[in-house]
Amino acid sequence: MNMKTSRISSILYKVIYKIKRLLWLFFHPYLWKMDAQINGIPVIQIPDKLVIGKHVSINERVFIQAKGGVSIGNNVTLSYGTTILTEGLDTMHYQVECKNQHRKHVYNSVRIGDGTWIAANVIILPGASVAKGCIVAAGSVVKGNLDKDNALYGGVPATFIRDLV
């Protein structure tokens, strides 16, 4: 591929991406009311079960599976690659020989408190909650309740590291 073709394809990609982003924002007007800042095109499954507070920032490659319900507080930042899951398999009755379509799925809601920053590539598992004013370090996996306000959490699974105040 020569330099001219490469430049044209790069420009074409940027134009198509901007059109997709504008269409996405146009068809998600509930985000306008909340003054949400959307960078990129997040993937949101079952958006009617997603409650977003005001002044939320959602960045590139965020995936929100809201089947079990997701509540995101005010002034929350979801950084690049954040994944929020609310659905999983029922491992209490899991049978290896069972076919995929017969496995039971369970749903648990996720809650993220006001003023929280979820750093890059964090995975939040079903049933998890994060208290207000927290930072969850990049690459962490949130399982269960991070219930101390204004704290730094990190690791796999995410655990308390220190107070922020």
Looking at residue 117, which CATH number applies to its domain?
Answer: 2.160.10.10
In this prediction, residue 81 carries a pLDDT of: 96
pLDDT for 100 equals: 58
Question: What is the arithmetic mean of pLDDT over 2-29?
Answer: 71
Question: Highest-confidence range of 18-32, 35-49, 51-65, by mean pLDDT?
Answer: 51-65
If asked whether residues 72 and 3 sit together in one domain, one would say no
Supply the pLDDT for residue 1.
Answer: 55
Average pLDDT over residues 39-61: 87
Q: Tell me: the pLDDT tens digits for 63-87? A: 999 999 999 999 999 999 999 999 9
Residues 29 and 52 in one domain: no
Tell me, rounded to whole angstroms, the distance of Cα 52 from its chain centroid: 11
Distance CA 147, CA 70 (A): 17
The secondary structure of residue 91, as a DSSP letter, is: G
For the cut 60, the answer to whether the pLDDT of residue 32 exceeds it is no
pLDDT at 130 over 90: yes
Same domain as 39, residue 7: no
Is the same domain home to 75 and 92?
Answer: yes
Same domain for 5 and 59, yes or no, is no
What Cα–Cα distance (Å) separates residue 144 from each residue in 90, 117, 123, 153? 16, 17, 12, 12
Q: What is the pLDDT of residues 82-127, one digit of tens each?
A: 999 999 877 776 666 556 556 677 899 999 999 999 999 999 999 9
89 and 52 assigned to the same domain: yes
pLDDT of 17 strictly over 80: no
The domain in which residue 122 lies consists of 35-163
Residue 16 sits in the same domain as residue 88 = no
Question: Are 28 and 40 part of one and the same domain?
Answer: no
At position 86, the amino acid (one-letter code) is: T
The span from the CA of 44 to the CA of 63, in Å, is: 6
Beta-bridge mates of residue 110: 70
Q: Over range 131-151, report the average pLDDT.
A: 97
Burial 25-49 (b: 16+ CB within 10 A, else e): eeeeeebeeeebebeebbebeeeeb
Tell whether 61 and 7 lie within a shared domain. no
Q: What is the pLDDT of residue 38?
A: 81
Residue 46: pLDDT band (50, 70, 90) is: confident
Q: Give, as one character, the DSSP assignment of residue 104.
A: P
- What is the pLDDT of the chain when averaged over all its residues? 85
Q: Enter the tokens of residue 59.
A: 């960045």
pLDDT recorded at residue 8: 76
| Mean local confidence (pLDDT), 123-152 | 97
Same domain assignment for residues 59 and 44: yes
Residues 41 and 115 placed together within one structural domain of the fold:
yes
Query: How many domains does the chain divide into?
Result: 2
Asked if 24 and 73 sit in the same domain, the reply is: no
